[in-house]
Structure 1
Amino acid sequence: MNIDSRELRDALGQFATGVCLVTTIDDEGVAQALTINSFSSVSLDPPLVLWSLQKDADIYPVYATAQKYCIAVLSEAQAEYSNGYAQKGGHRLADAHFEAGHNGAPLIKGALVNFECSLEQTYDGGDHIILMGRVTRMSAVDPQPPLVFFGGGYRGLR
């Protein structure tokens, strides 16, 4: 059976996901951010999480080799972060959006939680690379409504 990629994308869009930013520092010392919705927990012991990145993404070389990064779970109030850092060429992290983390990767201010990670393993995932990270530290803020993506747009929880 031949699967149409647009139909598959629409079908996968029926699974509600949270929205995250993955942040790191590039080789020039510049803070970078990338919007993802492919975040998932893997293991509690050891503490492992994963996310995936499209191989033809403009920021691919930065993240494919990043040894330290942070995954920030965004709040509903941070939709503009999601939109901005999803844009091709729009990955330079604004100074007002972050503070330095313990592992060197930027922590997103006001995020629901920041997971500081070290790269554990990468896997080939077709047109994506799957990055598994070991959580080395996490920090949370007061609970807020999460930013949720479903059916091609942001949704609220009821």
Structure 2
Amino acid sequence: MIQQVSEIDGGDFRHVLGHFPTGVVAITSTCPDGRPAGLVIGSFTSVSLDPPLVGFFPQKTSTSWPRIRDAGAFCINILGHDQEDLGRRFAVSGGDKFADLEWRRTPSGHPVLPRVPAWIDCVLAREDDAGDHWMVLAKVTALSADPGRGGPLVFYKGGYAKLAES
């Protein structure tokens, strides 16, 4: 059924777009005050090979994104299919998301979460208004992947999901 209306209902929008899976990443940074900050993003994409650029969309209501933005650089941690716990930890607003969590640093000093299949170190290139989100473009400065870690954590139809191995 095709729905054509002048106003799109938010619930309908979320339901229909939920039919498209998105990868789950945690954006982490060492902030100017020296403390780590992080948040989960479900709308992340590669943008360009030359120069290497990626993009993502943090909510404007996020309390973590302004701290990360002020740092000007961050790490994108691609969460693995078995890391729903990390996804939930970094999706919570406020609190110390790094409490009792062992992590290491990228070459530029940002947190790499434990056992992630891949990480991407970035510097902020630009941020633009995108409705109730910010549209962030970032330049990749370093990256690494562990091919033995398995597939990514995905979000599909309102919940975490796992890709079938081929």
Give the TM interval when normalised to the shorter protein. Answer: over 0.9
- AA aligned to 1:148 is V
Give the share of equivalent positions with the same residue, in percent: 36
How does 1:1-158 map onto structure 2 within 5 Å? 1-90=6-95, 92-94=97-99, 96-141=101-146, 142-158=148-164
Task: Output the CA distance in 2 between the equivalents of 1:26 and 1:131.
Answer: 17
RMSD between aligned residues: 1.5
Moved over 6 A (4+): none
Deviation at 1:91, TM superposition (A): 5.2
* 8 Å contact kept, 2:105–2:112: yes
Task: Sort the Cα spacing of 1:6 and 1:62 in 2 relative to 1 into closer, same or farther, 3 A.
Answer: same
Alignment length, in residue pairs? 158
TM score, norm. by length of structure 2: 0.88
Deviation at 1:145, TM superposition (A): 2.5
Could you report, residue by residue, the CA deviation over 1:26-84 in whole angstroms, capped at 9, with x for unpaired residues?
23211112111111000001000011111112223213323110001110111100001
Gaps of 5+ in 2: 1-5
TM score, norm. by length of structure 1: 0.93
Deviation at 1:122, TM superposition (A): 1.1
When Rg is computed on C-alpha atoms for both structures, the one with the higher figure is 2
Gaps of 5+ in 1: none
